[in-house]
Chain A
């Protein structure tokens, strides 16, 4: 985005001829202003808690419940606040709570008339009342049994929904109780529990996914509404949010999966060799078949049957070899021809796909060269001061290269037999293919032009010539942008839109390239020595959303917990009291 930021300062040279250029640049500015800026967010280890606060707060306020109950409800509904509210409206609070295992009824705990020891029905021992804990559902067992239960469940990976120990009790154990009981003797377990609970926001949420980088950068990405998009993590990795593989539009996820697999499969190459060569039965050198009939001859002079590989005499007709009958003649002919045709088709698309991918790699090096050229130009005694147009042209080139290379994988499936054979007649397919290829060719031609111009030694040019080349680059960039846009629209509306199979959809075209997710604004202090990642500054549940919530007030840890970890759930009042 920074590349566009300075574009309104660079008009100090003269202009009549530049009116159109200005228009283009303003266009880009306008596009920038009208989009709301990135709606995708990077969630780091540090901002994970803040990221879920908003959802928690909404549920807490709407239903007047404590944070742990809001979390239990949200985990049950996979962090879909709207769905949760819909259930609340349709079926009522009792249903909503019961279904998710939230008990909010208070069971009077300490009655002075009850004996000071009770029988725990798990360990079957009499235990002091103070050594027992009653959950919200009313079931009471001894603390050591609860702790054992929690540890088993956490190790089973069920931290997010630890149910009460009572048979058939659907109630979820209060996380504050789990935390308190575990922290005394099992701080490691408590931490593990905490982490699972926090990560539920990523694991169980269709709007949030881990960045697929390896080694993992530690981040997750949250999208606002449309899961069908491509995004760039702050670690620099660009990926398709839906399938988590590399950004592949205008291919659909399924097409990309098939294509990537096809490219990986060496069977194609193996196939190529078997289609094209066979070992000579005499000298075992591979012999290539060059069209025509099925009698081939090796340079050693041996003739043999292409179909079975057996040595034969030389006398033959189109459909038989004298004295040789292998019975596979006709049938094999057909399937071999077909395999060959399929392979040629694949190679056609793959070569073009690869050509653009390779160009993209080469052009990436161009970036450095160009920075050098810009540096030289800026030293020159010239009225031209701003060279951001070079970089803009370069990024346009990169973006469109990617679009082009993936467009070949798209075309391979769109117009092949594998996916849509039943979807269109040959005539329909031909019309569509012509339409698409026409656009693809236009785009290709302009991209090549841009690539060439960008390689010109503009640092040695006179000012007039630089102005001219700047004009050319801007014009080409605009054309290419429009062509890309048009191609995506054509794919979406004319090609995929008319299909009955609803499984193919593509991430929308973004003129400025793949959106870079922005960091959540967080106000955290990392506390390394607590054993937990961070402490939150803003008191939870207060509902105040003072712009970015940066207050200097630190949230105090509850000392009574003893363990080295932090309670996410203390109400604001408690903190204030501390």
Chain B
């Protein structure tokens, strides 16, 4: 049984200092099993300026079993599958500890963006490129950040406008859009 009381507390805890860390966790559905998190790309990396969305699924045994996390935003990184977004990170597997939280886990994912471990790759193609042709790796990663991790931010004004035109108050639209990570359909569901 998922400890929902703890999940609730985690969400409150996380929203308190999301300003500082830039890390957010919001429920995708009311049952608190599906969530999504967002992390800003670390400064000084090819991911800088991007906002990365991560799908989170809580297993039955959470927090005694690790949450399942997967990049929803496409990302070019040796430890993240460029196809599926699967993440290769020890704390999401056998090094998970119940004392970790969704926020600390997302911080670790963010740290992984800054410090790839090509020796333990999730994506062999990317890892090869990282090791053999670092310059190309950097420009590919940057290009992917530009193309996929910024699209939602760039398009956000369009979405705001669209929803305001449907008759919702702008402040509420902005808040909800942000909370659902820019997903237009989810935002509409909430607004209705």
Q: Which residues of A contact B (CB under 8 A)?
A: 121-125, 145, 148-149, 151-152, 165-169
Contact = CB atoms under 8 A, between A and B. Distances in A.
B6 A152 contact: no
A124 B6 contact: yes
B98 A165 contact: yes
Q: Lowest 3 A-B CB distances belong to which pairs?
A: A167-B97, A152-B64, A124-B9
5 contacts: A148-B64, A148-B98, A152-B65, A167-B100, A167-B104
Contact of B63 (A122, A125, A168): A122
Contacts of B91: 167
Given A124-B9, A152-B61, A166-B97, 12 more contacts: A122-B63, A123-B5, A123-B6, A125-B5, A145-B98, A148-B61, A165-B99, A167-B91, A167-B99, A167-B100, A168-B97, A169-B97
Contacts of B3: 123
Nearest to B91: A167
Given A149-B64, A152-B64, A152-B65, A122 B98 contact: yes
Interface string B94-109: 0001111000100000
Contacts of B104: 167
A363 to B, nearest CB: 55
Interface string B41-85: 000000000000000000001011100000000000000000000
Interface residues of B, number: 15
Contacts of A165: 97-99
A121 B104 CA distance: 13
A357 B65 CA distance: 54
A26 B1 CA distance: 72
Q: Is the interface of B mostly helix, strand, loop or mixed?
A: loop
Contact of B99 (A122, A125, A152): A122
Nearest to A121: B99
A145 B64 CA distance: 8
Contacts of B9: 124
Interface string B123-143: 000000000000000000000
Nearest to B3: A123
A122 B62 CA distance: 10
Contacts of A167: 91, 97, 99-100, 104
Contacts of B65: 152
A152 B96 CA distance: 12
B97 to A, nearest CB: 4
A378 B107 CA distance: 88
Interface string B102-122: 001000000000000000000
Q: Which of B6, B9, B91 has the most CB of A within 10 A?
A: B6
Contact of A166 (B6, B63, B99): B99
Contacts of A123: 3, 5-6
Nearest to B63: A122
A148 B64 CA distance: 7
Contacts of B98: 122, 145, 148-149, 165
B20 to A, nearest CB: 20
A151 B98 CA distance: 13
Nearest to B13: A124
A167 B104 CA distance: 11
Contacts of B100: 167
Contacts of A125: 5
A125 B10 CA distance: 12
Interface in B144-161: none
A561 to B, nearest CB: 24
Contacts of A145: 64, 98
A168 B90 CA distance: 11
Q: Which of A121, A124, A148 has the most CB of B within 10 A?
A: A124
Nearest to B104: A167
Nearest to A163: B97
A31 to B, nearest CB: 53
A149 B66 CA distance: 12
Contacts of A148: 61, 64, 98
B24 to A, nearest CB: 19
B1 to A, nearest CB: 9
A149 B61 CA distance: 9
A175 to B, nearest CB: 19
Contacts of B63: 122
Nearest to A158: B94
Nearest to A156: B65
Contacts of A149: 64, 98
Contacts of A169: 97
B165 to A, nearest CB: 42
A532 B64 CA distance: 28
